[in-house]
Amino acid sequence: MTALTQSTAPRSERRYQFSWADAGPFLALGALLVLGFLINQDFLSATNLSNVITRSAYVAIIAVGATFVISSGGLDLSVGSMVAFIAGITIMFMNVMAPTLGLWAIPAGMAIAVLAGLLCGLANGLIVTVGKIEPFIATLGTMGIFRALITYLTNGGTIPIDKSLREAYRPVYFGTLGGVPIPILISAVVAVLGAFVLYKTKYGRKCAAVGANEDVARYSGISVIKTRTIAYVIQGACVAIAAICYVPRLGAATVTTGQLWELQVITAVVIGGTALRGGKGRIWGTIAGAVILELIANLMVLSDFVSEYLVAAVQGVIIIIAMLVQRFSK
Amino acid sequence: MSIVARIDRERGVAPATPVLRAEGVSKRYGTVTVLSDVTLDILPGEIHAIIGENGAGKSTFMRLLSGYIEPTEGTLAMAGHQVRFARPDQAQAAGIALVHQEILLADALTVTDNLFLGRELTKGGIVDDARMRLVAAAKLAELGCEVPATSLIRDISLADRQMVQIARALLDEHRVVIFDEPTAVLTGGEVERLLAIIFELKARGIAVLYISHRLDEVQRLADKVTVLRDGKMVGTHPGHTLSQIDMARLMVGRELNALYPQKQATRTSEPMLSVLNAVVPGFVQDVSFTVHKGEILGFAGMIGAGRTELFEGILGLRPGMATIELNGVPMRVHSQREAMDAGIGYLTEDRKGKGLLLQERLGPNLTLSALASFHPGLVLKRAREADALTRAVSSFDIRLKSLAAKAGQLSGGNQQKLLLAKVLLTAPSVVIIDEPTRGIDIANKAQIYGFIQDLVKQGKACIVISSEMQELVGICDRIIVMREGRISGEVSGETMTESNIALLATSERAQLAEGGTK
């Protein structure tokens, strides 16, 4: 073996290489802003943009978790129903605790939301990994379960939050800190944390390795079961955070809460550049994807070109186009 | 029948008319020339071998002859008439069959279904299963392949799949049959069977093009040998005039040192890893062995003898049971992680499918098994990773265009070196290497043998599993031979010959000869 040559300077591995695929979502976001401005001058106003981004916060937060699940080679269809279910039990617990704990019922309820999210994620993860069930089928099942549970809990209607808590809880959605709406701050924190874990930690590497090739990961001494299950648990935590932000917006959980959010979440992840077959996660692309979706919905409302009832159809078209782009850009 | 008759007639009239002629063919992709100005005549009843290192343009040439790609320049002619193939089926219709290197069969279908895929026999518009089964069984019997025509492809061994693939190519009478690395997944007896088939094709006046890394096969088979290097033709030589070392020299284009390093007396009597009564359900029954410090221990056997399964079972990669003693300490290993932590490193035989993340850069690939040492705290130390990569690239002579390359862009030999570097990052005291040089060109092979020897010089123990007996004899101190999931014998010193290994690998009670063909 040749002696170890310590002196060779490493050619930079981190030299910035421009990649259209990675820049795509941000370019699309920029193009959309210009287009919006041309259609309606009010579009770029601070108020409108701040509203749009605030509304995109839930999907963005959940989509950060979905980026982990998808880049580890999984999929989670249950997120929309899970939001509704967690919002429902959070409100129920807060209402029950309100008479004894007063306003402390709010943080206590939030803790329960996070716990519930972790457990729901764990359940999804274990069914997929230990039960060895296709993620699509496993989470299709839990999607039905969570939706039925919220329907049962609300008795087919709504669970409103106790009046005594409403005012105190409102700022979590409607408040600002230093002029920035709180949901935007929360999603920024979630995204920074997500990016840190995915790009800078051991777990992030394992997650991408498991998604890229399960066998290689296994032969490299990585526990596929553990890695994938943790991805679902992260997803559950993100859903819980989204539910915590969602409750004060309407002050209630209903049967239709979170309906079709799985479509928006997966669309945001895919147009953000994360490979649906796993192995490559793009947290900031996902955030851009979530904002793009909300911007398009907003443009549809502002422009009158297309009925706003067709928002989900447009999102469906976008995810299909994004997949076609991924396929043919190979 | 009719084609053969025609060929015979043509041979009678003009014996020198090449059945297939490539004249000045080149293939360029953009500015990259992968094949330039190759001229080749293939005569009926001739076995013509094409050899060259990985990337020399062999596969491109084959794909060109069989219609998968069209030449940028140059022409093809069959029996004196110019031809153009825009699609593989046109080449097939003209009588050129290609046996692919990779197994391209539908797993969930039967042997018969696969043989006739796309050209099913019909009776009155309805698929005639009964007749297809009969034809398939006859064809398989002709090839000496014993799998039932009704088995599913996924239930038969890799070697049998290769035979099915060959049967598929030979189902119709062809004038030219091209074999691309047909023996890569075959062992001993199966190789012999295939060589016999090829001689039979030759006897029937069919032209055979044979591509292989195994120079001993080339030497036995070839009437002519054409050497390609860097996409250019080095020359065509009569087969019998070239020794294996001549061929290797022509391929590499420079003087080649001995393929195998001089054996060194690094072996000690100090046991490093002992395995007792290993059982892997369905594959291995009751195998025990010991490897010593500084020793290279070989594992030989046919495909299906359970060698890979034995080690995957021991290392927790598949269900199995074994009592292990590492450096005198008894232990149980339940997962690859535990094996690594204990100091046993394993290089899989399937480096593309199980060894490396082909879409990932080299750094993350290198450190994947040893992540803990690159994340001392919470955060990945990228500088440390870049450092490790630079070191690995220079110590293992990994050739690459840029450190930002992806693992899939490396050649097979360089991938193998990267995989070795990856496993060695876990600081193993025992290194198990499964098929260390499969699909690797000769220059890289010699280097890898050198690295293996370096490992035992450093006081590690090394286990090499290989289907190439020559390679085992060349580098090992001792070779254990497995047959049908059991150890059938052991050779070392004077008894360590290819013929003894072949004997132990194939027959129940082998009488070993001393000395022999060393």
Please report the DSSP string for B203-231 in residue order. Answer: HTT-EEEEE-S-HHHHHHH-SEEEEEETT
- How far apart are the C-alpha atoms of B239 and B223, rounded to whole Å? 5
Q: Is A205's CB within 8 Å of B380's CB? A: yes
Cβ B316 vs Cβ B473: under 8 Å: no
Q: Is pLDDT at A155 greater than 50 in this prediction?
A: yes
pLDDT above 50 (res B7): no
Whether A7 and chain B come into contact, CB under 8 Å, resolves to no
Gap between the Cα atoms of B306 and A219, Å rounded: 18
* Residue at B431: amino acid letter: V
Which tokens go with A202? 């051991």
Mean pLDDT score, B65-79: 89
Q: What is the mean pLDDT of residues B484-490?
A: 89
Rounded-to-integer distance, Cα A14 and Cα B437, Å = 32
Q: What is the pLDDT of residues A257-287, one digit of tens each?
A: 888 899 999 999 999 988 888 888 899 999 9
CB B435 within 8 A of CB B466: yes
Q: Using pLDDT thresholds of 50, 70 and 90, give the confidence band for residue A9.
A: very low
Residue A27 binned pLDDT confidence (cut-offs 50, 70, 90): confident
| Strand (E) or helix (H) holding A45 | none
Residue A88 has a pLDDT of: 94
Distances (CA, A) of B121 to B66, B214, B265: 24, 37, 62
Q: How confident is the model at residue B54 (pLDDT cuts 50, 70, 90)?
A: low
Q: Assign A7 a pLDDT band (cuts: 50, 70, 90).
A: very low
Predicted local confidence at residue B444, as pLDDT: 86
What is the pLDDT, as a whole number, of residue B8?
47
pLDDT at site B512:
62
pLDDT the model gives residue A1: 39
DSSP state letters, B409-421 = GS-HHHHHHHHHH
**What pLDDT is stored for residue B12 in this prediction?**
46
Q: Taking 50 as the threshold, does the pLDDT of residue B66 lie above it?
A: yes
- Share the mean pLDDT of chain A: 87
Under 8 Å CB-to-CB from B81, ≥6 apart: which residues? none
- Could you tell me the CATH number of the domain that includes residue A222? 1.10.3470
pLDDT at B288: 93
Residues in chain A within 8 Å Cβ distance of B318: none
For residues B67 and A20, the model is more confident at B67
Sign of the Cα pseudo-torsion (A217, A218, A220, A221, in order): positive
**Residues near A218 by beta carbon (within 8 Å), at least 6 away in sequence:** A224, B317, B336, B354
* Percent residues over pLDDT 70 in chain A: 93
More confident residue, B208 or A322: B208
Q: Are A247 and A87 in contact (CB under 8 A)?
A: yes
- Calculate how close chain B gets to A136, using CA atoms only, in Å: 23
Whether residues B368 and A216 touch (CB distance < 8 A) is answered with: yes
Q: pTM for the whole thing?
A: 0.75
Q: Give the separation between CA B268 and CA B101, rounded to whole angstroms.
A: 41
The pLDDT confidence band at residue B14, using thresholds 50, 70 and 90, is very low
Q: Is B103 left (phi over 0), alpha (psi -120 to 50) or beta?
A: beta
pLDDT for residue B275:
93
How far is the CA of B479 from the CAs of A226, B271, B451, B504, B506, in angstroms? 38, 16, 19, 11, 15
Query: What's the token pair of residue A271?
Result: 């147009």
Tell how many helices (H) and how many strands (E) occur in chain A.
14, 4
Interface test with A, best of B361, B394, B460 (most A CBs within 10 A): B394
The total of other beta-carbon atoms located within 10 Å of residue B72's CB is: 15
Rg (CA), chain A: 21
pLDDT of res. B257: 56
Q: pLDDT band for position B423 (50/70/90)?
A: very high
A2 to B348: CB separation less than 8 angstroms, yes or no? no
Question: Does residue B401 sit in helix, strand or coil?
Answer: coil
Strand positions, DSSP E, B30-66: 32-42, 47-51
pLDDT: is A202 or A40 the higher one? A202
Closest CA to B99 of B149, B23, B161, B25: B161
Phi and psi angles of residue B458, each rounded to the nearest 5 degrees, phi first = -80, 5
- pLDDT of B507 reads 63
CA B437 to CA A111: how far, in whole Å?
56
Distance, CA of B40 to CA of B232 (rounded, Å): 12
- What residue of B is the nearest CA neighbor of A210? B357
Rounded-to-integer distance, Cα A180 and Cα B355, Å: 48
* Number of neighbours of residue B171 by Cβ within 10 angstroms: 15
Measured between beta carbons, which residues in chain B are less than 8 angstroms from residue A213? 353-354, 357-358
Residues 6+ apart with CB under 8 A from B380: A200, A201, A202, A204, A205, B374
Say what the pLDDT of residue A267 is. 92
Task: Give burial (CB, 10 Å; 0-12/13-18/19+) of B10.
Answer: middle
* B501 confidence band (pLDDT: 50, 70, 90): confident
Of B203, B266, B259, B236, nearest in space to B462 by CA: B266
Candidates A10, A212, A219; nearest CB to B354: A219
B450 contacts in chain A (CB < 8 Å): 1
Average pLDDT, integer, range B216-234: 88
Confidence of residue B46 (pLDDT cuts 50, 70, 90): very high
Q: Look at B467 and A73; give whichever has higher pLDDT.
A: A73
**Do residue A13 and residue B451 have CB atoms under 8 angstroms apart?**
no
Which pLDDT does position A266 carry in this prediction? 94
Paired tokens of B186:
């075959």
Q: How far apart, in whole angstroms, are the C-alpha atoms of residue A270 and residue A263?
A: 11
CA dihedral A107, A113, A119, A120 (to 10 degrees): -170
CA dist., res. A123 & res. A112, Å (int): 16
pLDDT in tens, B405-414: 888 888 888 8
pLDDT at B140: 87
Q: How high is the pLDDT of residue B242?
A: 83
- pLDDT at residue number B55: 66
Q: Which residues contact A44 (CB under 8 A, 6 or more apart)?
A: A33, A36, A37
With cut-offs at 50, 70 and 90, classify the pLDDT of residue A18.
low
Q: Which residues in chain B are closer than 8 Å to A201, comparing Cβ atoms?
A: 375, 378-380
Per the structure, how many domains does chain A have?
1
Q: Which of A256, A273, A251, A278 is nearest to A322 (CA)?
A: A273
Domain carrying residue A89: 2-8+17-328
Contact of A14 with chain B, judged by CB distance below 8 Å, is answered with yes
Nearest CA-CA partner of B406 in B357, B352, B351, B360: B360
pLDDT band, very low/low/confident/very high, at A5 (cuts 50, 70, 90):
very low
Task: Give me the mean pLDDT over the B437-451 stretch.
Answer: 86
Does pLDDT of A309 surpass 90? no
Q: What is the pLDDT of residues A232-248, one digit of tens each?
A: 999 999 999 999 999 98
Q: How many CB pairs under 8 A join A and B?
A: 103
User: CB contact, 8 Å: A218 with chain B?
Assistant: yes
Share above pLDDT 70 across residues of chain B, in percent, rounded to a whole number: 92
Identify the top-confidence range among B22-36, B175-189, B233-247, B315-329: B315-329
Integer Cα distance of A18 and A101 in angstroms: 54
Q: Which residues of chain B does A5 touch, with a Cβ-Cβ cutoff of 8 Å?
A: 394
Burial class (CB in 10 A: 0-12, 13-18, 19+), A31: exposed
| CB within 8 Å: A209 and B361 | no
The total of other beta-carbon atoms located within 10 Å of residue A310's CB is: 13
pLDDT (tens digit per residue) in A196-214: 999 988 899 999 999 999 9
Task: Give the per-residue pLDDT at A71.
Answer: 94
B226 or A38: which leads in pLDDT: B226
Residue B369 CA to residue A240 CA, distance in Å, equals 33
The pLDDT value given to residue A20? 67
Phi, psi of A66 (to 5 degrees): -65, -30
User: Model confidence at A21, in pLDDT bands (50, 70, 90)?
Assistant: low
pLDDT digits (tens, 9 = 90+) for B371-381: 888 877 778 88
Q: What is the pLDDT of residue B517?
A: 39
Do A201 and B375 lie within an 8 Å CB cutoff?
Answer: yes
Quote the pLDDT of residue A13: 43
The predicted pLDDT at position A136 comes to: 94
Q: Do B395 and A200 touch (CB under 8 A)?
A: no
Residue B347 pLDDT grade (very low, low, confident, very high; cuts 50, 70, 90): very high
Residue A124's pLDDT is: 95
